[in-house]
Amino acid sequence: MTLLLSLAILATFKLATAVSNLTVETSSGPVTGLINGTTPNVAQFLGIPYAEPPVGERRWLPSIAKSHVDYVDATKFGLGCPQFEGAAGSVWQIDSPEFITPANTTGENCLSVNIWAPWKQDDEELLPVIAWIYGGGFQTGAGNIEYQIPSRWIQRSQKHIVVGINYRLNIFGFPNAQDLQDDEQNLGLLDQRLGLEWIRNNIANFGGDPARINMWGQSAGAMSVDYYNFAYPEDPIVSGLMLDSGSALLPSSSSDIAQTNFTFVANHFGCDNSTASEIDCMRNVSSTDIISFLKSYGDAGTSPALSFNPIVDNRTKFANYTARALAGNFTKKPAIAGTATMEGQPFLPYNRTYGPSVTAANAVTLNTFLCPAVKTTQNRFAVGVPTYRYLYGGNFSNISPQWWEGAYHSSELPLIFGTSGIARGASTPFEIQLSMQMQDYWLAFATDPVDGLQKLGWNAYTPDGDAILLGYEGTTAQPIKESALEAPCEGATARPGATPPP
């Protein structure tokens, strides 16, 4: 949508105020956003650069703050960071592509934030802020994923601001290259920190409260949030944490101890014959060519597989999170932490007729998601830090169209973002009711991480207490014993033969 059309939509408002408020001064420069006809009470500022482009000599270096420019067009999404989808089908690719980064919207100049704020005519109290960190296994994800655009939620609430942070992925975000220092390897995690610093420094100009910035992530995004929780205890910026289907205890680490994967890719592009260093040689290879090679190599099933994930650098990621938690070496901020009843469904070979092996899917649900969340919660409780536990069990045909999918990994997100009805039919009345309930919970926490949820009847974790079961068998929210969530688990792993609750 052009800026001219955006302003035309505002004709029913006080035009002078509208024009003034759609141009906001930031450390990156004055940004001009838009309001569209779908959510006319939401101001959107899209694709604002928070860092200098990570290209050329700055590829594979920690991001640095964007210098001030004269004008930023914030009326359209910026690029998602370079990534690819594998050729093997999945639940997300086949049944719910609204979870996937749209095709042809990625590129290397991708370090931007997207802001959605209520459109206000009068000065009001500064609003709580939710900083969104997308998931995707540290391989995929972006700010323009259809199911993860919060404008409908802001349109309904008018009481908070959401800011999405783009960060580098796969080989560009987590190179594990021999020519880099250990504290330069987890570039995607460093991007997230710089994005939060940008939010802290600028969000008041958008009506947001820099003292109430809450960090929310799902899957790899939730892992990122918890990594951050341990990395910045002295200057956390954030006041609360939201961990959807992920934590620092989720089993995920680089197996490339010898740092051979980056070298393998570099050698493919002739960097073993170059007079330049490996990393400098690779900086002259186009990001499109690198991604194309990684995709073709992965799609061919060639062994050994190449992987680029966060490594232990003892700066942004540590080796022993339980020990650090029990020693109190983290932010000690309140958290929401939860999982879904059937997390494992999308991670196994796709079979439209029969679905995945139930036993294998249950093992993923327990070992990868539920039990790490249980242990994370117990660790936090041991040092007196409140955690609000949930289990999501909603099952809606416009999100889970196959009979075997149920409440799979990521399926709760459209309910929170308010996007559940954008594809495959309108949301049911119960789906809408559940969506509003979940939105209200997340907003209550963002507004007051200490007491907000308790005012809605959701109490912090105690071993003999109740968590919240969301959307299960036609009930919006009901109690479920914490002991029921913990029964399948021995520490962060599943007991032999255990099955997921409820």
497's torsion region: left (phi>0), alpha (psi -120 to 50) or beta?
A: left
Active site residue 268: no
2's torsion region: left (phi>0), alpha (psi -120 to 50) or beta?
A: beta
DSSP 428: P
Active site residue 219: yes
CA dihedral 428, 433, 434, 435 (to 10 degrees): 90
Residue 107, number of CB atoms within 10 A of its CB? 15
Which residue stretches of 365-411 are H helix?
A: 371-382
Task: Please tell me which residue in 85, 98, 108, 343 is annotated as part of the active site.
Answer: 343
Phi then psi dihedrals of residue 208, to 5 deg: -95, 155
For the chain, the first-to-last Cα distance in angstroms comes to 46
Q: Which of 189, 202, 239, 216 is nearest to 130 (CA)?
A: 216
Task: Please tell me which residue in 6, 90, 247, 409 is annotated as part of the active site.
Answer: 409
For residues 77 and 227, give the distance between their C-alpha atoms in angstroms, rounded to a whole number: 27
- CA triple 122-123-124, angle to 5 deg: 110
For residues 303 and 297, give the distance between their C-alpha atoms in angstroms, rounded to a whole number: 9
Q: Strand pairing of 127-133 and 161-165?
A: parallel
Task: Please tell me which residue in 112, 219, 245, 400 is annotated as part of the active site.
Answer: 219
The structure tokens 């991670």 sit at 347
**Residue 377's Cα: distance from chain center in Å?**
20
- CA triple 465-469-473, angle to 5 deg: 140
Residues 6 or more apart from 343 whose CB is under 8 A from it?
245, 364, 365, 368, 369, 370, 408, 409
Secondary structure string (H, E, C) spanning 55-114? CHHHCCCCCCECCCCCCEECECCCCECCCCCCCCCCHHHHHCHHHCCCCCCECCCCCEEE
Q: Which of 394, 386, 388, 347 is nearest to 366 (CA)?
A: 347
How is 175-219 classified by DSSP, letter by letter?
---TTS-GGGS-HHHHHHHHHHHHHHHHGGGGTEEEEEEEEEEET
Q: How far is CA 470 from CA 76, 183, 362, 407, in A?
A: 34, 40, 19, 10
Q: Strand pairing of 72-73 and 31-32?
A: parallel
Active-site positions?
Answer: 219, 343, 409
